[in-house]
Structure 1
């Protein structure tokens, strides 16, 4: 699996609108929203047909808005993957994530509101109240239906959800296994308005290669550590060097894994460095697929106390709505 991520680290504003080759050009923005851990990033990756957003079983894995761009048959759908909206805002990073998710609802053409199986809680209700003010069609995607043991409960639940607002559609799906995703994508495509394409046909995202590399490392940290480490871990890329060699391209990437306490550093490193080594191996494999290049990955772990509740530190680490 390869992506069309440009090693020159393009951003959205560097490109002029590109006309579609079809007679009628269509382009629209679709926000994927929901509370934490309902499968928004998994859904985005499957809709794109390749991995872009990182995933794990931990809530609040996604921290930033990430655009996933799909251009097919003259239709450009720009998906906006968002952090999970949550009620607890103890730290600056929580407030950042909620703001990133809420701001995604401005100026979009449709919303996919993702919920988890038969559950409806206070955070789902909070997301509902946000999307009700968006003034665009909302598709409710009921995810992970493959994990419902008693299928007779699904239809009554869907009927109950339908009464919560005037949804464009209510669709049961399994993002992980692809159930009903073709139907969902057809509904989304029908909502994409006429307009010139905002991105080149082969562009996958507005995010830079450095950003994607940092996210892949963070994903492997979260998957390796499970519940052993609080989510207050982030990754900073210190070196990202692309070389063209006779044997093929080589990317040299140096990444700093930041934690808040010395005990967390020991957990990430593991016994004799075993855990850090595994994180590096797993991240390098995904990077080589994403960047279509051999990768030399160097990892270090550093303590940066209180970074997750420090507005200035967050901005310096890329948690900036203006980027």
Structure 2
């Protein structure tokens, strides 16, 4: 029987109580005891079984004694060894080399995460410290800043600026396209204008000491002009010839002049075709007697661009030069070409 109470003790108590004088109360106690006897008997039986199980050699004692205190039993150890072996096999080169080390690292990881300074607890503390609403004067400070900024913006929004904003309400893409069209048109105009721009260059021959024209008609050779340094791609649009002399002299004692109309001509030195370049009128340079006069520059009005068409050499001659008398002499002469071109 458990709890330190035995059936013999109960019987002794009953013997004593049976000899007590009955004043009514004991009869009631006897009635209560008789009513409780079955439950008491059952309790005594249960406690007896527990005492049997807990006693040395009892069922519970045998189960506790069977728990191993050192190594795992049966296939338990083999199963764990298999798991640990699999961990070793799965370890990659450079990774954890064995299960023991893996468990050690796992333990360190858990320890780190439980650390009050760096672990989950510290993280939770930081998260809990984040306010979910603005605190104290924070809201008031922010509201004040916004109020000041709004007041500044409203103060700057004058009627004039309102008009500017209204003017911004337009088709920006369309306007940009229109502007691009204007720019393209202007560029095209500039390009066309440049294409129409005419440039000019003069080219001169070497000097010749004199040119004698007498009363017998004949061709008179003049110096050659070399055209050079026209830019690549230049198109010659006009070319004229020039004849320059420092002095002209009538060697004849009486009246004298150019006899009949004549021409100074030009050709490409390939040779090309002689082209009339300067027209010499009849009776040009008229003298009444022997004399010397100052020279001049004669510029032709014949466009000879058909012949003078590029950088090249060009021959000159006075075609069928003739004077009324012997003779008219031109001193220190020079011929040239004036060329207009575009690029």
Above 0.5 in TM-score? Answer: no
* Higher-Rg member (1/2): 2
Which of the two has greater helix per residue?
2
Comparing both chains, which one has the higher relative contact order based on Cα–Cα distances under 8 Å and sequence gaps of 6 or more? 1
Give TM-score, length-normalised by structure 1.
0.19
